Chain A
Amino acid sequence: MSPSFRTTSLLDERTEARPNPRQEAALRARGVSPGRKRAVTLARGVAGVLTVALLWEVLPQLGLLDAYFIPPLHVVLGAWWDLIASGELWRHLQASLVRSGVGFVLATVLAIPIGAAIAWYRPVREFFQPVLEVFRNTAALALLPVFTLLLGIGEASKIAIITYACFFPILLSTISGVATVDPQLLRSAKVLGLSPIATFRKVVFPAAVPTIFTGIRISGAAAILVLIAAELVGANAGLGFLITYSNNNMLIPKMYAAILTTSVLGLAVNYGLVALERRFSRWRP
C-alpha cells in the first residue's frame, strides 16, 4: 500500500511523532504526516459525494427503490434544469432570499447592540437572563400561528418569525462574548485611562467578535430552516412553497429539485458566514 493511501485511526494520527512547537517556530514550518495531502483529502470527499449520487441514480433504476417516489438522479436534475431555464426557480429563490435576508439582517442589527447593553450592566443582565432563557427555549416554529394571527399571512409575519429565530442565538452569543472578556485586557485598558466607550470599542467588542460569530452562524442555519417551514404553511412563492406545491400536484422530480436548491442555499450561507468569520479572525492561532 502506498503511504498516501494507508488508513490511520485518529489515535495513530494524533499521537504521531512530529516536531514540537519550538522546533516548528525555529524552522518557520509545520510538521506534516505523509498520509495527509490536500489532494487526497479532496479526492476522498468527491468520491463520497459521487457514491451517494450513484446510489440515487442506480437504486431506483434497479427497482430497489420506487422510481415514482424517488426518481433517479438524472430525472431530478432534468427537472432542476427546466426550473432554472424557465426562470421559475429564480422567482421562488428570490422570494426566499429576500425573506431570510431581511429577517437575518434585522436580527443581527438588533441583537448585537441589545446584547452588548445587556451584558455591560450586571443588573440589566440579571433582569433579562431568566426571560431570555424562556424565549430561547421556545421553538420559533411553535410561535408561527401567533405571528400569523398578529401580522397576517403575508410577508410581515414570515420576516418576523425569521427575525425572531435569528435574534436569540446572536443575542445570547453577544451577551456571553461581552461578559467573558479577559479581565486582564480590561485592567490594561483601565491603566491606559481609556473611557468606557473607548474600552468597549477597542477592547470589548473586538474580543467578543469570535463568540458573536458563533451565534451568527447558528442564526444563518436557523434562517433557512424557519424560512422553509414558514413557506410550507402559507405562501404563494418561495422554495418552501415550491416543495409543497410540487408535492400536492405529484410533480415529484420538481419537488426534489426544490429540496436540492434549499440544500445548496444552506451550504452557500454556511460557507459564506465561515469565510466572513475567517476574514474577521485572522489574528487567531
Chain B
Amino acid sequence: MSSRIELRGVGQTFLVRGNDDRQLREFVALEGLDLDIAAGEFLTVVGPSGCGKSTVLDLIAGLAKPTSGSITIDGTPITGPGLDRSVVFQQYTLLPWRTAQANIEFALEAKGGLSKAQRQERARTYLELVGLTEFAGRYPHELSGGMKQRVAIARSLSYQPEVLLMDEPYGALDAQTRERLQEELVTIWQRTGTTVVFITHDIDEAVFLGQRVAVMSNRPGRIKAIVDIDLDRSGAGDRDVRATAEFAAYRHEVWTLLREEHAPGRPSPAHRKEDAHVA
C-alpha cells in the first residue's frame, strides 16, 4: 500500500508571454531538483510562494511531464496519471451534482472492477473513515469547506492508492478546522500506511504533519534542505503538540531556512535565466 518515489535532476520550463512586452519567453519553474520519498513516508514540502511546489506535485501525479530529469515510482518512470497515485487539490473538486457518497463512488467507477453494491459499500466505509457517515446524502453545496475536503480525502483514499498527493488541501479552511483535519490525517496515514506528499506554505502545518519537511528554494525551485522531524504526536487530540518546545525548535529551523530565501538583495542566477528571450 505504499511506494517509493525518486526525482532526479528534475527541471520544468513553461512558455509564457510577458504582460508588459507581449514577448514569449521561457519560465524556469524547477531546475535540478532531487528528492527521494521513502515508501510509507509522510513528507511535507514548504517553500516561498511561486517556488514550484505545486509543479512538483503535478509531475508526480503525472499531470505534467518534466522538461528534464526523471521521476520514478518504485523504479518505473511516471508517464501519466495512474490509480496508484491520488491527488487532493486545494480547490474543492467534488462533482457538485453528486452527493458525498456518489462522489466517492465516482472514483470507484473510474477504477472499475467493482459492482454497484460493492462501490456503495466501499464509499460508506471511507465516509466513515473521515467521520461523515450521516452526511452521505448531502450535495457539496450543503457541506462546509472542511467537510468537502474530508469527502475529497475519502474519495482519494477509496481506491487505495499507494501514494496520496496533497496540494495545500487545507489552505482555504479556518484555523480550527485545519488543525482538526491535520490530526485526522495523521491518524488516517497511520492506519493506511500510504505514502503521503503534502504541499503547504504553512510552516506549522509542515512541521506538525511531516516525518520530514522538504524546504524548497526560490525560483527555479530546488530542494534546499530536508529537516527530519521527530515529534511525539500520540494523543494529538488532547495534547497540544504545537505548544511543545520541540515543535517550536523544528518550527524555528524551518522558518530560518525559509527566511533566508526571502532575504533581499540576493539575486539568484535564476533571474537572469528566466528573462532570456526565446529565439
Q: How far is the CA of A104 from the CA of B78 in the complex (A)?
A: 49
A187-B63, A187-B89, A203-B95 given; A192·B110 CB < 8 A: yes
A206/B97 in contact, CB under 8 A? yes
* CB atoms of A192 and B107 under 8 A apart: yes
Q: Mask for B76-95, Cβ within 8 A of A = 1, else 0? A: 00001111011101010101
Residue ranges of B at the interface with A (Cβ–Cβ < 8 Å): 61, 63, 80-83, 85-87, 89, 91, 93, 95-98, 106-107, 109-111, 139-141, 144, 159
Which residues of the partner chain A approach B82 to less than 8 Å between Cβ atoms?
Answer: 193
B81: A residues at CB distance < 8 A: 190-193
Report whether over half of chain A's contact residues are helix, strand or loop; otherwise say mixed.
Answer: helix
Taking CB atoms, residues of chain A closer than 8 Å to B86 are 191-192
A190-B63, A283-B98 known; A184+B144 contact, CB < 8 A: no
- Classify the secondary structure of B's interface with A: loop
Chain B residues near A282 (CB, 8 Å)?
A: 139
Give min CB distance, A261 to chain B, whole Å.
37
Measured CA separation A24–B91 after assembly (Å): 24
Docked pose: A206 CA to B98 CA in angstroms: 10
CB within 8 Å for A188 and B83 given contacts A198-B110, A283-B98: no
Asked if A194 contacts B110 (CB within 8 A), the reply is yes
**How far apart are the CA atoms of A16 and B144 in the complex, in Å?**
24
Residues of chain A from 237 to 262 with CB closer than 8 A to chain B in the complex: none
Chain A CB within 10 Å — which of B80, B81, B85, B107 has the most?
B81
User: Which 8 pairs from chain A and chain B are nearest by CB?
Assistant: A192-B110, A285-B141, A188-B93, A283-B97, A283-B139, A191-B87, A184-B91, A206-B97
Report which residue of A188, A198, A281 has the largest number of chain B beta carbons within 10 angstroms of its beta carbon: A188
What is the bound-complex CA distance between A188 and B81, given in angstroms?
Answer: 10
A190 contact set on B, CB distance < 8 A = 63, 81
- What B residues does A25 contact at CB under 8 A? 144
A231 to B91, CA, bound (A): 53
Chain B residues near A281 (CB-CB < 8 A)? 97
Asked if A14 lies at the interface with its beta carbon under 8 angstroms from chain B, I say: no
> Cβ of A187: which chain B residues have Cβ within 8 Å of it?
63, 87, 89, 93
Chain A residues contacting B98 (CB-CB under 8 Å) are 283
Residues of B within 8 A of A189 (CB): 110
A284: chain B residues at CB < 8 Å are: 96, 141
Interface residues on chain A, number (Cβ under 8 Å): 22
Query: Whole-angstrom distance between the alpha carbons of A207 and B89 in the complex?
Result: 19
Q: Could you tell me which A residues sit within 8 Å of B by CB distance?
A: 25, 184-185, 187-194, 198, 202-203, 206-207, 209, 281-285
Distance from A190 Cβ to chain B, minimum over Cβ atoms (Å): 5
* Besides the known contacts A192-B86, A193-B110, 14 further A-B residue pairs in the complex with CB atoms under 8 A apart: A184-B89, A184-B91, A187-B93, A188-B87, A188-B89, A192-B81, A193-B83, A194-B110, A198-B110, A202-B106, A207-B95, A207-B97, A282-B139, A283-B140
Contact yes or no, A191 B139, CB < 8 A: no
Question: How many angstroms from the CA of A276 to the CA of B218 in the assembled complex?
Answer: 53
Distance (Å) between the CB of B239 and the closest chain A CB? Answer: 28
Inter-chain contact B61/A191, CB cutoff 8 Å: yes
**When the two chains form their complex, are residues A283 and B96 in contact, meaning their CB atoms are under 8 A apart?**
yes
Q: Which chain B residues lie closer than 8 Å to A207 at the CB level?
A: 95-97
Report the Cα distance A184→B1, complex, angstroms: 27
How close is B23's CB to chain A, nearest CB, in angstroms?
24
Bound CA span A184–B167, Å: 12
Cβ distance A31 to chain B, nearest Cβ, rounded Å: 17
Q: Which residue on chain A has the smallest CB distance to residue B102? A: A283
Chain A residue at minimal CB-CB distance from B156:
A191
Q: Which residues of B contact A191 (CB under 8 A)?
A: 61, 63, 81, 85-87
Q: How far is the CB of A184 from chain B (nearest CB, A)?
A: 5
A185, chain B: closest CB distance, angstroms? 6
